[in-house]
Structure 1
Amino acid sequence: MNLLIKRQTAGQTLVQLPEGTLEYVGFSAYQLAAGERLPVSAGDHELCLVLLGGRVTVTGEEPGQGAFSWENIGDRQSVFEDKSPFAVYLPPGSQAQVLALSEVQIAVCSAPGLASAGLGARLIKPDTMKRSVRGKGANTRYVCDILPDTEPAHSLLVVEVRTPSGHSSSYPPHKHDTDDLPHQSFLEETYYHQINPPQGFVFQRVYTDDRSLDQAMAVENSDLVVVPKGYHPVSVPYGYESYYLNVMAGPKRVWQFHNDPQHSWLMDL
């Protein structure tokens, strides 16, 4: 499997994970001009719409709960602004439409849902999201928990990370591909990357202990990296800033990771 999915060059769709690539995680990202609309249908999945940049109105309907509407939401123009995003959670069976009120970039994150869980559609506001700093020195990065395991959902976990020029991220290398709680959980993952300035690139490696999977990729703006298993560090070259949106899902909605023992000494620096 080629783990790097390149950005599309035309149309509303920026990048899309082909259906059936992963068992639990689905992902697509779109760009809309002002006045354009994006229909969204959850089917048997739950969705998290992440407004990467721009302003939108989201309207729709969910089974048994009726119509919903959130008007003129969004207050950042770029993922590199020091602001948390607006997001919308949609349960299985929901139908929605996104109306762009300006130039917009929006991500649609999906995972298996359970209609009987009774979770309703909701607006996730920026001021409810936890922001934190991880690492130190050239391993420092800035994290925003959009839909963590402390907030209601059936499978989805969504987080965004900004990494400064010349820094490493998702580092020391860690993995979460084994159902061995409380030590490690099994979660598939995707990385949706943006680069500032956009002509830049970052490097990402995805590898397993036995190297049966070992791919190193030069990742450009709006590319998607698939992480079905294994460790998955990111390195950002000097002069460019990195953003990525992580979507994780698995049989249990718990994020518990395991560091690569070959590099665990880095935790003591």
Structure 2
Amino acid sequence: MPNLKVKPSGTHGRVTHVTPESAGWTYVGFDMYRLKPGETASGETGEREVCLVWVSGKGKASAGTRDFGTLGERMSPFDGAPHALYIPMESTWSVTAETDLELAVCSAPGGGTYEAKAIPPGTHPPLTRGKGTNVRYVNNIMPEDDSSAHSLLVVEVITPGGHTSSYPPHKHDQDNLPHESMLEETYYHRLNPPQGFGFQRVYTDDRSLDQAMAIEDGDVTLVPRGYHPCAATHGYDLYYLNVMAGPKRVWKFYNAPEHEWLLKA
């Protein structure tokens, strides 16, 4: 099993590159681009589908023969919901930055006859989950009840400083529907202010996998299996962008039984 934490390789250009091969799994890919005004990121989807997420900044986008114009409006991932763009398999895409741009490229195996589609802020209602110091704020980008993709599930979450998230610990590593689905997952982490840090643990019941990681601004964590709770330290809000995919486009998770009492507390 490779190291489950991927540090950014720099501050400019493609700073993160996660493929199924590098992660040692089957479905999820994730790239992060940091572009200056006038710079362009582009790609071909091949046999995969892609969701571009404007984490911060603005950029002109095209997919295949369609021009989607300027997308993006927030200048920080902590300031409102994102713009996103879905691109099906066997297509191309291009984004040219109009401001400093942080662009996530989320990918998974494609299929079907889906079409390129802009996903503006407000497409899905914002959600608040948890209570007390387990409250976090959710922006769904491509949830399972949105039938416009073959494999991809994409969501972002903001966890206030001092709170926990993906908690009580849950997992989704068994193809056992309707009780649990098998989904690989990446977390792209940002901190506000950026010098902060948080924590994430990825572990299985038998502890054959058990990694606890300090997470810093720009880190990506990999969840091939097991439970995967996060904690934001006092004074530093934690943002993460999740990409999930597996053999079925369904998110059904299983809570760690010894911690389920927290849902009733």
Which range, TM-score by smaller chain? over 0.9
2:185 aligned partner = 189
The whole-number CA distance in structure 1 between the counterparts of 2:28 and 2:201 is 19
Partner of 1:146: helix, strand, or coil?
Answer: strand
Native 8 Å contact 1:84 1:129 kept in 2: no
* Aligned residue identity for 1:88: L
1:25 aligned partner = 28
The whole-number CA distance in structure 2 between the counterparts of 1:84 and 1:236 is 20
**What CA deviation, in whole Å up to 9, does each residue of 1:13-60 have, x standing for no partner?**
222214512210000111000000001211100000000111111123
- After the TM superposition, which parts of structure 1 deviate over 3 Å for at least 4 consecutive aligned residues? none
1:64 aligned partner = none
TM-score normalized by the length of structure 1: 0.95
Find out whether 1:95 has 2:100 as its counterpart.
no
Shift of the alpha carbon at 1:10? 4.2
Native 8 Å contact 1:57 1:100 kept in 2: yes
Sort the Cα spacing of 1:18 and 1:153 in 2 relative to 1 into closer, same or farther, 3 A. closer
* Aligned residue identity for 2:107: S
2:14 aligned partner = 13
Native 8 Å contact 2:63 2:87 kept in 1: no
Native 8 Å contact 1:7 1:221 kept in 2: no
Partner of 1:96: helix, strand, or coil?
Answer: strand
* Aligned residue identity for 2:252: Q
Native 8 Å contact 2:16 2:32 kept in 1: yes
Shift of the alpha carbon at 1:130? 2.4
Shift of the alpha carbon at 1:212? 0.2
TM-score normalized by the length of structure 2: 0.97
**What CA deviation, in whole Å up to 9, does each residue of 1:181-217 have, x standing for no partner?**
1110000000000001111111000000000000000
Find out whether 1:75 has 2:73 as its counterpart.
yes
**What CA deviation, in whole Å up to 9, does each residue of 1:100-157 have, x standing for no partner?**
011100100000001xx11011111112122100000000000011001111110000
The whole-number CA distance in structure 2 between the counterparts of 1:110 and 1:120 is 15
2:53 corresponds, among 47, 50, 55, to 50
* Aligned residue identity for 2:123: T
The Cα RMSD (Å) is: 0.9
* Aligned residue identity for 1:172: P
Query: Unpaired runs of 5+ in structure 1?
Result: 62-66
The whole-number CA distance in structure 2 between the counterparts of 1:49 and 1:258 is 29
